[in-house]
Chain A
Amino acid sequence: LAKTTQPISMDSYEGQEVNITCSHNNIATNDYITWYQQFPSQGPRFIIQGYKTKVTNEVASLFIPADRKSSTLSLPRVSLSDTAVYYCLVGAGNTPLVFGKGTRLSVIA
């Protein structure tokens, strides 16, 4: 399974756009890139998933360059409620998710 590397923590002010980049140099052809969000005392929650180029939903955008060796999760205009840990994962099929330590995002008023 491809390993991912992402920053341990990030800080942002409310209303700013936040971009979290994840490296996955050994991503396989069949792998998708998925991001999960986790609040304290809750299980992780799916945010967005993509294979290549750009994906956008009501919560975030995911940018994937042509070589797919990295991806960037973009959160527009963050609020205090976006304070959480964000995990980048790669994998294919109905396989177990391999979580790293994630990126702890702190949004400051």
Chain B
Amino acid sequence: GAGVSQTPSNKVTEKGKYVELRCDPISGHTALYWYRQSLGQGPEFLIYFQGTGAADDSGLPNDRFFAVRPEGSVSTLKIQRTERGDSAVYLCASSLSSDAYNEQFFGPGTRLTVL
């Protein structure tokens, strides 16, 4: 299992509920990214981790969104009080950390539907 995995693949929830989306990066990749993709659009950056710390969270749309990566591997994206506008595919990517511009490896995404 060499690739990035994401669970669940699909999540349907009701407006106002709390959801957690999980990302398992490629082993040894220290950089981890979350993106969100709406229909017909390119992926939109949310947050980036280097190791355990969030190096850049400027893409998180508001304080309902939060992500953690406590041991520098698996990451969880948490969305509180979900809204219908949060419906999208949430993509996770990982890459090696170096000074060069590294290829990001994407998972298949979690399709979130908020009813």
Binding site for B on A (CB under 8 A): 32, 34, 41-46, 49, 85, 87, 91-102
B42 touches A100 (CB 8 A): yes
Does B104 sit within 8 A of A, measured CB to CB? Answer: yes
Residue from B40, B56, B105, B107 within 8 A of A96 (CB atoms): B56
Complex-state Cα separation, A19 to B101, whole angstroms: 24
B101 touches A99 (CB 8 A): no
Chain A at the B interface: SS class = loop
Residue from A41, A85, A92 within 8 A of B101 (CB atoms): A92
Complex-state Cα separation, A39 to B105, whole angstroms: 14
Given the contacts A46-B103, A99-B42, A99-B43, A94 and B50 also touching, CB distance less than 8 Å = yes
B42 touches A96 (CB 8 A): no
Given the contacts A43-B109, A44-B106, A45-B106, A93 and B42 also touching, CB distance less than 8 Å = no
Residues of B within 8 A of A96 (CB): 33, 45, 48, 56, 59
A43 touches B102 (CB 8 A): no
Residue from A43, A49, A95 within 8 A of B93 (CB atoms): A43
Q: Please give the distance in Å from A64's CB to the nearest CB on chain B.
A: 14
